[in-house]
Amino acid sequence: MIDSTSLMTVYPEIVLLVMACVIALVDLLVTSPKRTVTYVLSLVSLGGVALLHAFYADSGHTLYGFGRLVVSDPMGHWLKCFATIAVMVTLVYARPYAADRDMLRGGEIFSLSVFALLGMSVMISGQNFLVLYLGLELLTLSSYALVALRRDNAQATEAAMKYFVLGAMASGFLLYGMSMLYGATGSLDLATVFKVIASGQVKHQVLVFGLVFVVSGLAFKLGVVPFHMWVPDVYQGAPTAATLMIAGAPKLAAFAITIRLLVEGLLPMAIDWQQMLALLAIASLLVGNLAAIAQTNLKRMLAYSTIAQMGFVLIGLMSGVVSGNAAMGANAYSSAMFYVIAYVLTTLATFGIILLLARQGFESEEITDLAGLNNRSPLYAGVMAICMFSLAGIPPMVGFYAKLSVLQALVASGQTADIALAVFAVTMSLIGAFYYLRVVKVMYFDEAVTATTVTADTDVRIVLSLNGLLVLVLGIVPGALMSLCARSVTQMLAN
Amino acid sequence: MGMLSLAIWTPIAFGIVLLALGRDEQAQSVRWLSLVGAIVSFLVTLPLYAGFKLDTAEMQFVEKASWIERFNVNYHLGVDGISLWLIILTAFINVVVIIAGWEVITRKVNQYMAAFLILSGLMIGVFSALDGLLFYVFFEATLIPMYLIIGIWGGPNKIYAAFKFFLYTLLGSLLTLIALIFLYIQSGGSFDIATWHELPLSATAQNFLFFAFFAAFAVKVPMWPVHTWLPDVHVEAPTGGSAVLAAIMLKLGAYGFLRFSMPIAPDAAQEWGSFMIVLSLVAVIYVGLVAMMQQDMKKLVAYSSVAHMGFVTLGFFIFNPLGVSGGLVQMIAHGFVSAGMFLSIGVLYDRVHSREIASYGGVVNTMPKFAAFALLFAMANCGLPGTAGFVGEWMVILGAVKFDFVVGLLAASALIFGAAYTLWMFKRVYLGPVTNDDVKELTDINAREFTVMALLAIAVLYMGLYPKPFTDVMEVSVANLLEHVAVSKLP
């Protein structure tokens, strides 16, 4: 069964796996306290993998490997490419922070991150219930370990426990749902499941039963209300480097697994999951935005803001099918994809700033810790302000176009209820604007409590500036990325 | 690069350079660079007037390029008689404001100057955008620099004011965003404003659109009863911020009515015309009375701005050429006059650090040159013939009388209130004996302040004595707009 086409489809993943092992081995010989060799080796390997993905995605082929266990399509490769870059950026931001906190005694942070990325890649390209589940487990198990990496810190350990218990439960939900669907349809293969359900010969009740568990499991992973409890605690408790590892790249994978399961596998049940997603979206927008207002801890506030942002992603995902007709699919799913990419890009820079401001023995995770940042460093204050305006959806930042495309997909359905939901969503984003603006206020309007200048290594400085600039530049010329999302989703749906 | 792109991006480019290179240690060179930037940005708008063809209502200096292919959004710019003077006004006020902030601002000078330059570019973008989404992007983006201007360089209660400004206006414009998306879908995938003008729409859709646009533009103008943010914001904003806010930002809303509400939903606009007229009259009369009772000079001028903008919206919604042109002229005149009023208050504030009318009295004795300018602006504010303030108000009142005698009568009565609150303030601040030690020690305006005042005074007098260049430009476009609005778009 292992033929060359199959190997082709997972070539980047093979490279990733080999390099993860090589990094772990090489690290044994590294003695420098900042693990420079391991770090450079990780970045180089990831850079290579990202290039491979971009190359595959650009070729535009859709190939199935290992008897349709995995797929190699442009959407998957673009998502994997962005996830790889996101992990690279995360490592750049995380290294000085980790070094200050005794997290670089071994190079686990690098090998675990690469393993997590491998898990994401498998999630993104899986075409089979079990493959998707395996990818998810690889990702989450690595993430648990990353959160627990700061072993002697009580808060981090507590966060790791919470994350593990709730995450395991979510995985259980997902697996249970999958087993129901397998029982009903007799297949683990997404395309077969699709066909069997579409034929209408399977009892609807059993399917819906399975679907509820699948959606709950996905909602856990995306962190949407009412399955959001772990998000604020883990974001706040985990070492910020690990928080970024959870908050950044994995959102791309969570989006992909949702698309693979709900659209590629369960599209004939869209009427059912649409309603679930709508409720989850409304609850997330409401709870996420309102709870974020009350936060004084920046990481916790960003956690609630993530919950609200994921609500928007769900809105994009649910607008693809209008009264049983999936003609609007490409439009809606590509808006959601654009939203996730824009979100990850912005989140990276936001946490990058938090990591940068943290020093030995000082976490800089309260909102007030940013006070007067504009006086201390106009550049980083500017980057953070751009991110906040982007998350609030103010043009000309990329976050505005993300909201625009999702709302456009929603209004395009032409249903009165959907327009009402759009009005609700913008009202909630107005509330959201308040707490994002408060961060800008603290940086620009308040007096600094400390006069220490902000210092950063060259690599962090360059990547962070580029990251912030990209949030602005993609807002001024968003066309290319939007078309890229639209093209790749259209191709995914066509196959 | 077209003339309009140049007008938009020149100030923004200077702003970015200032942000990147400016340091507080080199404040002086930062100031000069921003002045050069502002003047160059102003000069590049002049060819727009020189090359403007008066005999056509078509868009001129049109530029069009694909911007976001996926949503069929174009980078589409153009001017007509409605927007031309607003663009030039924006660039002019920018020069004035940069000079006015010269040595007043000592903290983060480069950011201050850059904020104004970028803001001016964005506002020119609003006035020249012919694509709905491009308009919205510029319209919303103006919030960011203004928020920072108020919050960083504002008065004691600046944070409250900055948030109120941002959230109040954002609430309105988010509803407009849904209206824009709705139009995009109704028109089969186009953000082109001209296409929307021709699009037939049902009565329900038109009513929805009219009120969605109303939410954004009425807040921005601001119309009674959503004007309450303006006095709070004006009081706390730095002088330059107040001047730009009153002179230009309020016009973004009024311009929106002409470009969106009226031509896109003409039937709804006609149907709700009397509603708009009533709101405008309330603004003119009631807010005029409120202005009279203010103890704070900036608050007084802020309320007076609301009343004057009431004239503008009144002129628009009586649907005759005199009214609409009058409203437009009033917008430009108010731009010069309100900037003059706010900068005069700024001159006093820089010296005494009080905005209370009661802290002054007899300023004319110590600052004769300044008092002369202040008198001119005060007179223009109450609409004295021969000043800019007169032309627009007179045209609107004339139009209103034609439309309905009672409306005309009520509008005209506002001239009395205008004169009352302005002159009473002038009397209490400038005239009479000097009773206050602060006033005794005042020094008259220096050459820089004189330049600022003189630039505005020339504009006020020129427009008052020879308004032809202004009205000529508008005539054809206004006639064309009204012709369009008179035709029903119901399917």
Domain boundaries, chain A: 4-494
pLDDT at A323 over 90: no
Residues B312, B321: Cα–Cα separation, whole Å: 13
Instruction: Reduce the DSSP state of residue A97 to 3 states and report it.
Output: helix
- Cβ distance B112 to B52 under 8 Å? no
**Ranges assigned E (strand) in A96-193:** none
Average pLDDT value over all residues in chain A: 89
Considering only CB atoms, A411 lies closest to which of B133, B174, B178, namely B178
Neighbouring C-beta atoms of residue A183, cutoff 10 Å? 13
Residues A255, B113: Cα–Cα separation, whole Å: 43
Q: Which of residues 147-166 of B touch A (CB under 8 A)?
A: 147-148, 151-152, 158-159, 162-163, 166
pLDDT at B430 over 90: no
Rounded mean pLDDT of A412-441?
88
Query: How would you class A429 by CB atoms within 10 Å of its CB: exposed for 0-12, middle for 13-18, buried for 19 or more?
Result: buried
A1 pLDDT band (50/70/90 cuts)? low
Rounded mean pLDDT of B88-95?
92
Length of chain B: 491
- Residue A124 pLDDT: 93
pLDDT digits (tens, 9 = 90+) for B432-486: 888 878 777 888 888 888 888 999 999 999 988 898 888 888 888 888 888 888 8
Residues A333, A258: Cα–Cα separation, whole Å: 11
- CA distances, B69 to each of A271, A314, A465, B190, B197 (Å): 31, 24, 28, 11, 22
| Dihedral sign, Cα of residue A486, residue A487, residue A489, residue A490 | positive
- CA-angle at B415, arms to B412 and B420, nearest 5°: 145
pLDDT digits (tens, 9 = 90+) for B11-48: 999 999 988 887 777 888 888 889 999 999 999 999 98
Which residues on B lie below 8 Å from A483 (Cβ)? 69-70
Both structure tokens of B98:
């940069």
Beta strands B60-68; A70-72: pairing state:
unpaired
Both structure tokens of A89:
């950026």
Considering only CB atoms, B69 lies closest to which of A419, A434, A479, namely A479
| Residues paired with residue A359 on neighbouring β-strands, in sequence order | A362
Rounded mean pLDDT of B47-65?
87
Residues A409, B299: Cα–Cα separation, whole Å: 44
Residue B208 C-alpha, separation from nearest chain A C-alpha, in angstroms: 12
pLDDT at A321 over 80: no
pLDDT at B417 over 90: no
Rounded mean pLDDT of B274-302?
89
B35 in contact with chain A, both atoms CB, cutoff 8 A: no
- Residue B171 pLDDT: 86
pLDDT at A285 over 90: yes
Residue in B with minimal Cα distance to A446: B152
Rounded mean pLDDT of B67-89?
89
Instruction: Reduce the DSSP state of residue A155 to 3 states and report it.
Output: helix
B162–A389 C-beta distance less than 8 A: no
Torsion over CA of A93, A97, A98 and A101, rounded to 10 degrees? -170
Most trustworthy range by pLDDT among A319-323, B426-430, B486-490: B426-430
> Which range, of A273-277, A379-383, A487-491, B103-107, averages the lowest pLDDT?
B103-107
- Residue B413 pLDDT: 82
pLDDT digits (tens, 9 = 90+) for B220-268: 888 888 888 898 898 888 988 999 999 999 999 999 999 998 889 888 8
- CA distances, B191 to each of B177, B180, B182 (Å): 12, 8, 10
- Residue B137 pLDDT: 93
DSSP B165-183: HHHHHHHHHHHHHHHHHHH
Query: How would you class B49 by CB atoms within 10 Å of its CB: exposed for 0-12, middle for 13-18, buried for 19 or more?
Result: middle
A445–B174 C-beta distance less than 8 A: no
Both structure tokens of A169:
């439960």
- Residue A324 pLDDT: 66
Residues A194, B289: Cα–Cα separation, whole Å: 70
Q: Which of residues 390-419 of B touch A (CB under 8 A)?
A: none
At A17, phi and psi to the nearest 5?
Answer: -65, -45
Q: Please confirm whether the linkage preceding A96 is cis (ω < 30° from 0).
A: no
- Cβ distance B485 to B317 under 8 Å? no
| Residues paired with residue A63 on neighbouring β-strands, in sequence order | A72
Q: What percent of chain B is predicted at pLDDT more than 90?
A: 27
Average pLDDT value over all residues in chain B: 88
Threshold 0.90, pTM exceeds: yes
Among residues A146, A288, A144, the alpha carbon closest in space to that of A229 is found at A288
DSSP A173-204: HHHHHHHHHHHHHS--BHHHHHHHHHHT-S-H
B136–A374 C-beta distance less than 8 A: no
Neighbouring C-beta atoms of residue A424, cutoff 10 Å? 15
Q: Which of residues 44-83 of B touch A (CB under 8 A)?
A: 66-71, 73
3-state secondary structure B52-118: CCCCCCCCEEEEEEEEEHHHCEEEEEEECCCCHHHHHHHHHHHHHHHHHCCCCCCCCHHHHHHHHHH
- Residue A462 pLDDT: 93
- Cβ distance B466 to B391 under 8 Å? no
Both structure tokens of A318:
């649910």
- Residue B115 pLDDT: 92
Q: What percent of chain A is predicted at pLDDT more than 90?
A: 55
